[in-house]
Amino acid sequence: MHPLSKHQWLVNEAAIAAITHGDAPGPGNKSSMEIAELEQVYKVFLFYDSSFHGDQLPSINLARFLEVMRDAHVLSVNFTELHAEEIFATAMLGKLRTYLDADGAPALSFKLFCGALMQAAIVKVALTSLNILAVLSR
């Protein structure tokens, strides 16, 4: 059983492949993130999925996305919306789709948010983890 299947992830195959070592599920193909980490990230998805807060279309505000990523120390303080858009585009193979929420602010579909957050975590957390280890080893 694929480690993500129990979470009912709303992501495409490219996003799933990005966080696994292999294409086919099996004992030799473990997730590059620990299961506990995946569960924590999924809880973040649920919290920021606006459909859980009464919206008909699940989406996330870009500013809210940046805020939660910074709060999780995944992104540096000088990380901009332009950088986020680059990650979104990378995460979804260049097919960036932007929606507007009720306030007219840029919002992401929940699928795009999931893919973008996983991509950002893969790209940024590894660097952050290395930096933290470097600081702790001093």
Residue showing tokens 């059983």: 1
Most confident range (mean pLDDT) of 6-15, 31-40, 93-102 is: 31-40
Question: Sign of the C-alpha dihedral, residues 43, 44, 50, 56?
Answer: negative
The percent of residues in the chain predicted with pLDDT above 70, rounded, is 0
Judge contact between 113 and 101, C-beta under 8 A. no
Q: What pLDDT, on a 0 to 100 scale, did the predictor assign at position 135?
A: 47
CB within 8 A of 73, min separation 6: which ones?
A: 128
